[in-house]
Structure 1
């Protein structure tokens, strides 16, 4: 079952974020706290949304997403920030169910596209995404400015 996250899910979401960070070889990179996630997901101006995948045993995965915008399409899109399924639940269709759910949300909301990034070394995920019909954007490279570089760029 896929359902919208509630404020009571914040501890589970943060646990999943930390497990995802460990899987992505960045176990110490998570700075998010429960209050930060609660505000980002359920505060006065939510920045993102999340859905939870559940089985009879409880929560086994989540997806966190937000809207972006395409000037070329003139419509918003759905951007998947994080997708995580617990190791025990992998291979049981949970990840595909989460992606199908989000694809349906994108259509229901009139989005022009549904997109996400994947680490280039995560060949299993890339094969999984290709099998679902995703197409890699080979000509695009993600750019990021954060920390001190962000402060310098802002001239502060």
Structure 2
């Protein structure tokens, strides 16, 4: 489904993760993420991948949604909202007080969807990222 998501966004060439990566990091003693799956009939048609977060401003734990995807075959059935609500419920049961996510700047339909689910765009923040070789170069500065 993540490959379907990257294709939907027109970014298939950016998708580097393998099934082995998901198995390595999503299972075991300390999984790095969790994922809930939506089914329609007996077919997996949606997923919400998330992990724990913490806000120093709020002073409470939260949930960060990395990816939310619903197959275009079943969009409009409310599965995306159900997935988000389920993840929020999991977080609430663990003492979380918020849910955060980032959305692709060009994915206007997703932005409208999140707003319809009561999520608000934060104009006071920008997302920065460092990846691959630049990430390793940054980490190497710690040894110097």
Give the TM-score taking structure 2 as reference length: 0.91
Determine helix, strand or coil for the equivalent of 2:13: coil
**Structure 2 unaligned residues grouped into runs of 5+:** none
1:65 alignment partner, one of 41, 45, 50: 50
Q: SS of the counterpart of 2:49?
A: strand
Displacement after TM superposition at 1:97 (Å): 0.8
Q: Which runs of 5+ in 1 are unaligned?
A: 1-15
Q: 2:105 matched to 1:101?
A: no
The 5 A counterparts of 1:6-155 are: 16-155=1-140
Matched residue count? 141
In angstroms, what is the RMSD of aligned CA positions? 1.3
Structure 1 runs, 4 residues or longer, greater than 3 Å off: none
1:123 Cα deviation (Å)?
A: 1.3
User: Aligned partners of 1:29, 1:120: CA distance in 2, in Å?
Assistant: 16
Distance in 2 separating the partners of 1:57 and 1:88: 14
